[in-house]
Amino acid sequence: MTFSTKLCSSVYTLDAHLNTFLKLSLDPKQDQDKIVAGIEGLTSANKKELVQFFPVIARGLLELISVFPPRISLLSFSTLLTIADA
């Protein structure tokens, strides 16, 4: 049996869409239009990186679902389902 590992020297992603979302999710006082753009950008992010960062993304989206108005909550939930289905 053979195991392989991949060393990542940073906790930051190189994917621009994912990086934008992660920065926005850290500051809930951001403009709602920027948050919507960040959430929508997740669907264009690299699938492999979405899997690697799934726990952080899920936490951010669940937080947005619980804190923001229905427009952002619905978008967050549908994006979470899209990512989980990928």
pLDDT tens by residue, 19-32: 999 888 877 678 88
- Read off the amino acid at residue 32: Q
Q: Domain for residue 31, yes or no?
A: no
Domain count, the chain: 1
Q: Domain for residue 27, yes or no?
A: no
Confidence of residue 6 (pLDDT cuts 50, 70, 90): low
What sign does the CA torsion over 13, 57, 31, 29 have? negative
Confidence of residue 79 (pLDDT cuts 50, 70, 90): very high
CA–CA gap between residue 68 and residue 49 (Å, rounded): 26
- For residue 76, the enclosing domain spans 37-86
Q: Indicate if the pLDDT at residue 82 is higher than 60.
A: yes
Residues 42 and 36 sit within 8 Å (Cβ to Cβ)? no
Could you give the 3-state DSSP secondary structure of residue 60? helix
Q: Indicate if the pLDDT at residue 17 is higher than 70.
A: yes
Residues 42 and 83 sit within 8 Å (Cβ to Cβ)? yes
pLDDT confidence of residue 9: 52
CA–CA gap between residue 34 and residue 5 (Å, rounded): 36
Confidence of residue 41 (pLDDT cuts 50, 70, 90): very high
Q: Domain for residue 71, yes or no?
A: yes
Q: Domain for residue 52, yes or no?
A: yes
Q: Which two tokens stand for residue 14?
A: 């190189």
Q: Domain for residue 20, yes or no?
A: no
